[in-house]
Amino acid sequence: MAALPSKSAINFKIVFLGLVIFIAILLFVDLKPGAPEITQTAAIAVLIALWWVTEALPIGVTSLLPILLFPALGILDGKAISNSYINYIIFLYIGGFIMALALEKWNLHKRIALKILSLAGSRPIMILFGFMFAAAFLSMWMSNTATAMMMLPIAFSVITALTEVVGEKHIKKFRTGLLLSIAYACSIGGIATLVGTPPNLSFVRIFEIIFPSGPEISFGQWAIFAMPLTITMFLLTLLFLFLKYRPSSEISALRKDFFIKRYQELGPISTNEKRVLALFVLLIILWFFRKDLDFGYFIIPGWSNLFAHPEYINDGTIAIFVAILLFIIPTRERKTGLVTWEIIQKIPWQIVLLFGGGFALAKGFIDSGLSAYIGNQLTEAGSLSKTGLVATVTAIMTGLTEFTSNTATTEMMLPIISGMATEIQVNPLLLMVPVTLAASMAFMFPVATPPNAIVFSTGQLSMMEMMKTGIVLNLIAIVLITVLTLIWGTFILPIDLLQYPDWAIEGALNAPH
């Protein structure tokens, strides 16, 4: 579950530049004569995108602009746009983050990481595997940033132990690979679940806004679809990093019980940890098996069918249910619940507002007709093959996310991509899904993701090392996402390569042109 670092500084020059561009578009640009709302929405989108990308203002503040500008320019009613900020995806994120904070509070995340490492062993490739597996698994459920921060001290204890025995010269290459493995595994693990990274949640809600009659993508369905990409990308990254950064001489400095001893230092698992772990497992099970899982040859019925109205229950309902249990179930001392209300202060509310701002912007794109307008300008893309089309949008998104906020870029791109899909009569999921996945595949630059920035800030690796390693992984990710979407996606998700779905036709008919 990725989170963005919060910045409070204001870049007045960029703020002023954004306002000048915004006013200039309103005064001197007319994208479609007779439809001023299209130009006005484009002006709002450019202003928000510029301030989001540069973080000229705190991200949460910029995310509130739709509430002001859409009603002021007469594009959308203030009540309608405000409703975009509160929905089940917001509560899915809040509930999931409360669970992540509970894991951190009771140090359960560190216990899980050290347990994985103790099982992996102490050979160089197994050390890499252990760190990557722990980081990827934890990032499926909690902040990628917090995971990277937690894994670093463990990594440095390993590096220190190895350096003392074999020397700095022999450990330098392996140290670089180990640090990069943590950053990359956080991003790779995040794509596996809906709560693993904000772009996934943005996709689910924006798809629902644009295509209200479209099929629901449940937690279990997404995980079954994305897990093969996570596993394949994980293994290829592990192999590539090991071959590129394996130590110059065989490292056998670590005792086999190195991680076992670190794990034993935590002491026996406490009653409170057991209770949080039980709720964590319950949350995962409820998310996975809420809806029927249709594998074609057989169906695993969802537990929500036990209720009179299973369609009323969504993944946000489950997240809040387990979050409430965390507040209710007492600690061993029976003085408070496993979490207390003070934990709410640690939720990154700027991300919640960023979600809302993105959903509001998506609604503006659709209701103003801007999405259809941009899609119409991109109709030449229809001449590409399905493979070429998916690969192109994936590559564009992968490049963009190296320099911009993954979530903000996703929320800007998805309405545009959906408009293009509608104009060229391609199943919107065929393009929206790979764009969403590509948003998390940023490996080249420190600014691309918080985990990249965290490992780079240690001063133990160079920008050139990260770039040379990251560009290879970016290319691998583009190929894998394209292949996965065209083959596995058409089996697990409602993507028919030969037929334009009725729900997309209905969405296009309801949208202004």
Residue 4 pLDDT: 45
Mean pLDDT on 139-154: 81
Residue 401 forms part of a structural domain: no
* Containing structural domain, residue 16: 10-57
Residue 137 forms part of a structural domain: yes
Under 8 Å between Cβ of 73 and 111: no
**pLDDT tens readout for residues 366-408:** 888 887 787 777 776 667 889 999 999 999 899 888 876 788 7
Residue 506 forms part of a structural domain: no
Ranges 116-125, 195-204, 257-266, most confident: 195-204
**Same-domain status, 46 and 96:** no
**Same-domain status, 195 and 242:** yes
Closest CA to 353 of 93, 79, 18, 145: 93
**Same-domain status, 296 and 166:** yes
Residue 433 forms part of a structural domain: no
**Same-domain status, 30 and 96:** no
Mean pLDDT on 437-463: 84
Residue 165 pLDDT: 64
| Boundary of a domain, candidates 327, 346, 365 | 346
Q: What is the total count of domains within the chain?
A: 2
The answer to whether residue 512 scores a pLDDT higher than 60 is no
Distance between first and last Cα of the chain = 36
Residue 507 pLDDT: 60
| Boundary of a domain, candidates 346, 364, 387 | 346
pTM of this prediction? 0.78
For residues 496 and 413, what is the distance between their CA atoms, to the nearest angstrom?
A: 22
- Spell out the residues 6+ positions from residue 69 whose beta carbon is closer than 8 angstroms to its own: 44, 47, 75
Mean pLDDT on 434-445: 91
**Same-domain status, 20 and 99:** no
Residue 471 forms part of a structural domain: no
Residue 426 forms part of a structural domain: no
For residues 449 and 414, what is the distance between their CA atoms, to the nearest angstrom?
A: 19
Residue 249 pLDDT: 62
Beta bridge partners, 330, equal 337
**Same-domain status, 163 and 265:** yes
More confidently predicted of 314 and 239: 239
Distances (CA, A) of 132 to 61, 126, 144, 182: 35, 10, 12, 6
**Same-domain status, 49 and 177:** no
**Same-domain status, 17 and 150:** no
Length of the chain: 513
Residue 168 forms part of a structural domain: yes
Residue 280 forms part of a structural domain: yes
Under 8 Å between Cβ of 171 and 159: yes
**Same-domain status, 293 and 333:** yes
**Same-domain status, 330 and 280:** yes
Q: How far is CA 202 from the centre of its chain?
A: 9
**Same-domain status, 323 and 245:** yes
- Spell out the residues 6+ positions from residue 387 whose beta carbon is closer than 8 angstroms to its own: 482, 486
| Boundary of a domain, candidates 346, 361, 395 | 346
Query: Angle at which helices 349-368 and 65-72 pack, to 10 degrees?
Result: 20
**Same-domain status, 341 and 260:** yes
